[in-house]
Structure formats: C-alpha cells, structure tokens
Structure 1
Amino acid sequence: MPHILDPLPENHNDEICCCYVNSTSQIQVARITNVHNWYFERVVFPGQRLIFEAPSYSYLEIHTGMMASSILSDKIPCQQLIVLGEDEPHPFAISAKTVPELEYAHQ
C-alpha cells in the first residue's frame, strides 16, 4: 500500500527496497533520520516484517522500550536490508521468495 504522506524528496534517485523483521518480543520503532527533508518512522510489532524504500546511503534506527521511553538499540545500514529479485545476487539480500507475507510501507 503506498504511503503518500512522506514521499522521498525528488532529488533521490538511488532508492532501494528494504526489509526489516522485528524478531524480538517487544514493540519497536523504526526510524530513518539521516535523509535531509524526509521523515520516516514506523511502529514494528513483534514478528512483523516492514518493507520500505529508502535512499541507499540511509540508516534504519531501531528504538526499543516501554511506554514513555525508548533506547536506540540498533542502527542498520539500509544496504544490509536490501530485497532483490531472484536473479539479482547480493551478499546481504533477503529473497522476495522467502518473504511471502510482506507488510509494505512504500515511501
């Protein structure tokens, strides 16, 4: 489902499709903060997969915590979260065939 509230700025033509999986038992907040003039923040429930597009140089911050507080628990280069097609090898890629029930948050 396209997310039209926060589209990537026009000058970004190097976006990649990424997948993050919350493998913890806690609710997390996924945030990208290093892209100028763009806001990306999503709640990711335990076991949920988050599919999104982001510039190749961006970092996904994972915040974990309780109601009123959270800590930055991870900062992942989006290059390590790339989802590619079957014929596009990449050392860190998650194959789209192995992730059938994807949550899609298109930017």
Structure 2
Amino acid sequence: MAQILDPIPGAKPEQIRCCYVNATSQIQVVRITNVASWYFERVAFPGHRLVFESFPEALLEIHTGMMASAILSDTFPCKDLEIEDNSSKEQKKTKPVSENKKAFKNNLMILI
C-alpha cells in the first residue's frame, strides 16, 4: 500500500495493514510517534476510514479538539487495528473465478 508522505522506515517483514474509523462527530488528528525515524500524522474527518501500514508495536494517538487546541483523547496499539490481508490467503488457495471476483468486491467495499 502506498503512503504518499512519510513512508515507513526500512522494509521490515513485520509490517501490518491497519484501519481506524473516526466514529465521532469531531475532526481528529491521528499520529504515530513512537517509531524511530518516522512520524505519521493524518486528519480524520467524522466517519472517515483511515487505512495505513505500520508496525505491531506502534501506538496510534487520537487527538480531538476544537479550533487551535487538541487533547490526546485515546491511544490504540496498531496490532489491535490490524486488518486481514486477503490477497496472501487467496494466493495459497485456488478458488473458482466467481469467488475471486466476490472477494475483490468485498475488499473494495472495505476500503471505500
């Protein structure tokens, strides 16, 4: 998965794909600050689904606030936000074409 800014340092095999959803009615700033040589920060609007790559030991900080102030409102271990990568499972199993199309459509629905 491409991350336009601030790519993960090095290509370590323990990278995981994560998903965070802003289920509040406020704008949030999400950050990962505990990984050396890497700073990840994104804005999550209400209802926004953020899919990103990280490391299992990383902590996702959720900052919520108004105008010029924000407070650290929550912290989640990225390993708890991990989403399953169906592509590696599909490569191990041979499925009929119709099932592969169905899995592809389901994956698109998750990312939208």
User: Which residues of structure 2 form unaligned runs of 5+?
Assistant: 90-103
SS where residue 7 of structure 1 aligns? coil
> Which range moves more in the overlay, 7-16 or 19-28?
7-16
- With structure 2 as the length reference, what TM-score do the two structures score? 0.75
Q: Which runs of 4+ in 1 moved over 3 A?
A: 96-99
Return closer, same or farther for 1:21/1:10 CA change in 2, 3 Å cut-off.
same
The residue type paired with residue 48 of structure 1 is H
User: Which residues of structure 1 form unaligned runs of 5+?
Assistant: 88-95
- With structure 1 as the length reference, what TM-score do the two structures score? 0.78
* Residues paired across the two proteins, number: 95
Greater gyration radius: 2
Return closer, same or farther for 1:9/1:85 CA change in 2, 3 Å cut-off.
closer
Q: Which structure: greater strand fraction?
A: 1
Map 1:39-54 to 2 at 5 A.
39-54=39-54
Q: Which has the higher contact order (CA 8 A, sep 6+)?
A: 1
Alignment-derived partner of residue 31 in structure 1:
31
